[in-house]
Amino acid sequence: MLNLHLKSLLLNSRMLVMLALGFASGLPLALTGNTLQAWYTQAGISVVTIGALSLIGMPYVWKFLWAPLMDRFALPFCGRRRGWILLMQFSLCIAIAVLAQLSPTLEPHTVALMALLIAFLSASQDISVDAYRTDILLPQERGVGTAYFIFAYRIAMLVSGGLALVIADYWGWRILFELMAVLMGFSFLMTYLSPNVADPVQSPKHLKSVITESYRDLFRRESIGLILLFIVFYKLGDALALSLTTTFLLKGVGFTLTEVGLAYKVLSLAGTILGALVGGTFLARLGLFRALLFFGLAQAFSTLLFMLLAVMGKNYHLMIVTIFTESVCSGMGTAAFVAFLMSLCHQRYSATQFACLSALSAVGRVFLGPVAGMLVAHLGWMSFFGWSFLMSFPGILILALIRHKVKNVQLAEC
């Protein structure tokens, strides 16, 4: 039976806010990704044009460039963090509603530009949301709060990704996007009802000071070089293994599209959500260092199941176990890792610093595709997953080197 402390950790108003914000952050991502591609495909647009739609996601990569603006300027309503979130969510409602009135058949470039605007507004919302949850969550709540956020984020992606296609198939694209605008409006209402940050710090007076002071504050931390290396490497092996998972299941092992779609997409979603919830809950008990260590090792060894699948060949039950286990372990690692990133952010510069750190954590994923392809082409699938397993350990070794720093951060804040 849960004790009162754990109940208060799992069930409080801040956790409900994390659910609302997670849903609001996840909704536009799939909407301007796979769903947009499906809309263009059904409209008979050329493959070249559809391929170029991937550039719409660029604001998510470069969002750290305008993050200092959200640290420097506070809007005249609802506080420094919630004000920006509300503005972005209101703008997203309008932009998605406008998108619903357009057609890729008649106005392909206008639709693409509107989708780019939605991606920009969504990335800007993410900056404010990341800063807000960094500021509002207590140190001991960060693991559970991250788990709740990931849970709602994944549900929103399922709604605007998989469920969206079903809605479009039955009622049309216009109804679909109008419904998504309504859901963003609901998120706006939930954000409006959410609490402000308690004891907020004063905004910096100059934009230049935001940029210089935020990075100065970050880079003069003890062992910052090792900390930044840890951020790059902690999930590198996991990301490498996942970079070609769909190709491996289809071509490497020989499963059908239906088998991969049902097992990979559904089980991956369920496993990631479960892993995030379990990881966030145990983070409060294990502490930050032990959680990063245990979950990092779990991520690494779950990769070995892909090696086993490569050896065994087409085995549906083994595929289910492999995908679900890896997703759970990855979700646990993500919960602890995001909590660690949040612990590094100063409240005055949390928008800029979190955007910078999260962008750094994505560096490995951005450049893994070509490397993964060459490894498979020259070494085969079993060796590829073997290398993915080995690439999980540099991050764990670096974690051991910064053990004292991680424990000090945690003890100072809890």
In this structure, what are the phi and psi dihedrals at residue 16, rounded to the nearest 5 degrees?
Answer: -65, -35
Beta-carbon contacts of 341 under 8 Å, excluding residues fewer than 6 positions away, are 231, 354, 357, 358, 361
Task: Look at the block and give the residue holding tokens 């930050």.
Answer: 288
pLDDT at residue 8 in the model: 52
pLDDT at residue 206 in the model: 64
Mean pLDDT of 305-322: 90
Amino acid at 245: T
User: pLDDT band for position 411 (50/70/90)?
Assistant: very low
User: pLDDT band for position 364 (50/70/90)?
Assistant: low
Residue 340 to residue 138: CA distance in whole angstroms: 13
pLDDT at residue 90 in the model: 95
Contacts 24+ apart (CB under 8 A), 47-52: 49/108, 52/112
| Geometric angle at alpha carbon 29, from 24 and 35, rounded to 5° | 120
Mean pLDDT of 97-123: 90
pLDDT at residue 195 in the model: 77
Mean pLDDT of 351-355: 78
Length of the chain: 414
Mean pLDDT of 98-111: 88
Residue 274 to residue 323: CA distance in whole angstroms: 13
Ranges of H-type helices in 101-235: 108-136, 142-158, 164-171, 173-193, 207-219, 224-233
Domains detected in the chain: 4-203 (1.20.1250.20), 210-413 (1.20.1250.20)
Mean pLDDT of 164-188: 88
Cβ neighbourhood burial of 193 (10 Å; 0-12, 13-18, 19+)? exposed
Mean pLDDT of 328-333: 90
Mean pLDDT of 120-148: 83
| Percent above pLDDT 70 for the chain | 85
Residue 207 to residue 351: CA distance in whole angstroms: 13
Q: Is the pLDDT of residue 42 over 90?
A: no
pLDDT at residue 205 in the model: 65
Q: Do residues 288 and 10 make contact, with C-beta atoms less than 8 angstroms apart?
A: no
Q: Is the pLDDT of residue 357 over 60?
A: yes
Chain mean pLDDT for the chain = 81
Mean pLDDT of 184-206: 76
pLDDT higher at 11 or 250 = 250
The per-residue DSSP string of 270-333 comes to HHHHHHHHHHHHHHHHH-HHHHHHHHHHHHHHHTHHHHHHHHH-S-HHHHHHHHHHHHHHHHHH
Q: Is the pLDDT of residue 95 over 90?
A: yes
pLDDT tens digit sequence for 395-407: 999 999 988 877 6
Amino acid at 309: L
pLDDT tens digit sequence for 218-246: 778 877 889 889 988 898 888 888 777 76
Beta-carbon contacts of 221 under 8 Å, excluding residues fewer than 6 positions away, are 227, 344
| Percent above pLDDT 90 for the chain | 21
Mean pLDDT of 47-66: 73
Mean pLDDT of 269-297: 85
Mean pLDDT of 338-350: 79
Amino acid at 116: L
Q: Is the pLDDT of residue 371 over 90?
A: no
pLDDT higher at 199 or 194 = 194
Beta-carbon contacts of 397 under 8 Å, excluding residues fewer than 6 positions away, are none
pLDDT at residue 4 in the model: 45
User: pLDDT band for position 200 (50/70/90)?
Assistant: low
Mean pLDDT of 289-304: 92
Three-state DSSP at 366 gives: helix
pLDDT at residue 302 in the model: 92
Q: Is the pLDDT of residue 18 over 90?
A: no
**Could you tell me the pTM of the whole model?**
0.70
Q: Is the pLDDT of residue 210 over 90?
A: no
pLDDT at residue 287 in the model: 83
pLDDT at residue 413 in the model: 42
Q: Is the pLDDT of residue 13 over 90?
A: no
User: pLDDT band for position 1 (50/70/90)?
Assistant: very low
